Structures are given as C-alpha cells and as structure tokens.
Structure 1
Amino acid sequence: MRRRAARALLLGVIPAALIAGCGIRATEVPVDSGPAPSRKPCPVSDPSPVPSNDARVPVRVYLLCAGQLTLVERTVGLPGNTEGASRRTLVAQGLLDELARPPLPGEAADGYRTLVPFGTGVQGHRRGDPAEAFRLNVRPDRLRDGALAQIVCTFAESAATQGAGSVILGGPKGDLTRYECPPDVRNHPTATPVPSATAAPAQ
C-alpha cells in the first residue's frame, strides 16, 4: 500500500514538473509588451531642381503618406508678367500638375503617393461664376475621396485662394461647390467625405 501511494504521488509530481519546465505557469500580473508599433514617419524630401526660363515660386502640396495628408515642398513656374486672375489660374494649374506628378524617388521610398489623376486641369470661368471659383476639366464629385481631399486642402491653403481655408470648385459645367479642409479630412483623407455646400447654381 505504501509503495502504491508513493508511486501515485510521484506520477502526480512529474507532469507538474514537465509543465513548469515548458514555461507554462499561471500569473495574475499583466504582461507589458511595450507600446504599439507606430506608423512610418513621413519626412519631407527636398524637391529636385527643375531647370526653367520662367520664374519659379515655392508652393506646398498635399500628398498621402501613412494614411494622412502631408505637405511637401514644390516650385511652380510663372511668367513674370502674369497678374490677377491669370496668375491665380496658372498657380492652380501648377498645383494640379504637381499633385498629379508621381512622388520624387526619395518621397516614394518614404511611402508618399498621390491619387490625383494625371491630366487634371483648370478650365476657364463660365459667365456668372464667382471670381474666386475654379472649374476643373473633371467634375470634383467624380474624383476619389483621397484625390479630392488632396486638391481641396492644397488649394485652400495656397496663393490660388489667398489661404482662405476653402475653395470653390466645379466641373466643366454644372453647379459650383464650396469645399473645406478640416482636420478630419487631413487625418483620414480616404475615409472622410470632404465637407461641401453649393456655392452657386449653374448659369
């Protein structure tokens, strides 16, 4: 009887020792695995110089990086004799050209990208349009959310709108719409609709 009891006790101890040896043990203390991994930072790369006979003015455009809109530096060529509405239109077209251009190699390596379609352009005003409005060669509501956010936020903070914080856009014909660029759009450009309101009916 004593031998049987000793053998049963020994058999009960061995599995417990094996479990302990495997590192499995109960604990009531939370395990701190450290902070959650952060998203990749998006450093701004210096733009490559572009030779041109035109005067070039510094501008900033919004590209997508790590799920957000991030400003990058660019330059836009402007003839020295442009003033008023012509200058605004040239600035706006220059901004669109830079938005549609593929990111520079260093920027692409850092995760920058753009959703603005190549060939997006500014067209002339229609009769009755507000002076500060821009008509694009594509209806703004046909653009992807991220692309529209890039254009609206870039224009809203640029010399094209005198940094008004909003911009009036339209397609080749139809109503004009005023768009804004709040922080939610800059932080989640592909998931947050760009706030809008009708600015002027079609003429």
Structure 2
Amino acid sequence: MRVRERRGRAALAGVAVVAAVASGCGIRTTSVPVDAGAAPSRLPCSVAGADLASRAQQQAVPVRVYLVCASGLEAVHRAVPETGDKNPADSRVAVARALLNQLLAEPSATEREAGFSTSVQGPLAVSAGREGDPEGALRLSRQPEDLPAAALSQIVCTYAENSATADGGTVLLGGPGPYPVRRYACTAQLRERPDSAAPTRPAS
C-alpha cells in the first residue's frame, strides 16, 4: 500500500510540474475551443513589375482584375486592347467582355507562383442589358447566383472598380433568365471572404 501511495504522489507531482511549466510559458488552459482565424499565409500575393511589362507590350489599356489569393481577393494589373467604340454603351460592353476574358484566362506563371488563381470558369459570356433594364446593366450568360460565390465575387469587384462598367462603385448584373438585374457591391468583407454571398440590393 505504501508503494502505491508513493507512486500516486509522484504522479500528482509530475502533473503539478507540467502545469507550472505551462503557466510559466504564458499558456492558459481552457476547455473552450478558440477560433484564431485562418492560418497566416506565406504567399506573397503580389506580382513583379517584369510580368506586368510583358503583358503591357502585347496589349494597350491597363486594367485591374481581382483574383483569388490566400483565401481572399487581390487585384492584379493586366492590360486589354482598346475598344475603339465611341458609343458609351458599346464601350461598356466591350470593356466588360475584355475584363471577363481576363478573369477566365489562366493566371500567368508568375501569378501562379505568387499564389493567384481564378474561380471564374467558362463557358461564360457577358452582354448588354435588355430592354427595360436600368442604364449600365450587364447580363451574364448564367444567372449570377448560380455561379460559385468566389467567381461572382471576382466579377463583381472587377466590374465595380472599372469606370466603364461600374455604376456608382457598384455593378448592375443579371442573367439570361426573366429576372431583374440587381446591384452588387464590392465590400471589404467580400474581398476578405469571397466565398460569402455578394451583397445585393434592387437595381433602382
């Protein structure tokens, strides 16, 4: 019995030592799970100027498009051909198509190394709004709400930032169905969590 008692006391002493060490290291024990957020990413999420220059040599007008990086949205610089359209409505659609093509394109090798990817997948096209739509509306070939959340977030933020496709810092988007267009906003929360639903409100 005395041997067992001595062993029990030794075990309790060991537990006390471990607790003291943990306390000395500033570690608090808790029975409640702690959500510390996403683990920090080591991806740079930035592209060197050399890659931008190589794109600019082939194309003309500088633009910014939003890609996915480190579970968020980050803007990258691209360049697209000049539309040459003098009609604002025609120019808006031409720019919208050029921007969508950039989102559909596979990121460059430099962008991939920096951690960029795109969730926008084809087939997907964009056209002008139909009769009865508010001025500045754009229609996608798929209903916006049917797209993956991150893909729609990329489109919304890319369009909402470009002066040719934006409407007061938002974008008016609809689909091919008989549904009215809605106004989508690119918020800081959406850029941080593109997998969440894009905030919308009626077009009017």
In structure 2, the CA distance between the partners of 1:173 and 1:49, relative to structure 1 (3 Å rule), is same
Helix, strand or coil for the counterpart of 2:203?
A: strand
Structure 2 equivalent of residue 177 of structure 1: 182
Shift of 1:50: 6.5
The 5 Å alignment of 1:1-203 reads 26-27=20-21, 28-30=23-25, 38-40=40-42, 41-45=44-48, 46-47=51-52, 48-49=54-55, 56-162=60-166, 164-174=168-178, 175-190=180-195, 192-199=196-203
Which amino acid in 2 is paired with 1:186?
Answer: R
1:37, distance to aligned residue in structure 2 (A): 6.6
Where does structure 2 lack aligned partners over 5 or more consecutive residues?
Answer: 28-37
Q: Offset at 1:38?
A: 2.9
Bigger helix share: 2
Cα pair 2:56 2:78 within 8 Å, conserved? no
For 1:2-55, what per-residue CA distance to the aligned partner results, in whole angstroms no more than 9, with x for missing partners? xxxxxx9xxx9xx9xxx9xxxx794241258xxx97312311243333666xx7
Q: CA deviation at 1:124?
A: 3.2
Q: Between Structure 1 and Structure 2, whose CA radius of gyration is higher?
A: 1
**Distance of aligned partners of 1:81 and 1:26 in 2 relative to their CA distance in 1, 3 Å threshold:** closer
Change (3 A) 1:129 1:109: same
| Contact in 2 for aligned 1:169/1:179 (Cα 8 Å) | yes
| Residue ranges of structure 1 left out of the alignment (5+ in a row) | 1-7
> So what's the TM-score if we normalise by structure 1?
0.76
Letter in 1 for 2:45: C
- Deviation (angstroms), 1:57: 0.8
**Distance apart, 1:75 and its partner CA:** 0.8
Partner of 1:97: helix, strand, or coil?
Answer: helix
Q: Which amino acid aligns with 2:164?
A: A
Q: Separation in 2 of the partners of 1:71 and 1:65?
A: 9
Normalising by structure 2, report the TM-score: 0.76
Instruction: Tell me how many residue pairs correspond in the alignment.
Output: 178
Task: Output the CA distance in 2 between the equivalents of 1:121 and 1:38.
Answer: 35
Secondary structure of 2:55's match? Answer: coil
Residue pair 2:96, 2:159 contacting (<8 A) in 1 also? yes
CA-based RMSD of the aligned residues comes to 2.8
Partner in structure 1 of residue 30 of structure 2: none
Residue of structure 1 equivalent to 2:35 = none
Counterpart Cα distance in 2 of 1:163 and 1:65:
26
Shift of 1:97: 0.3
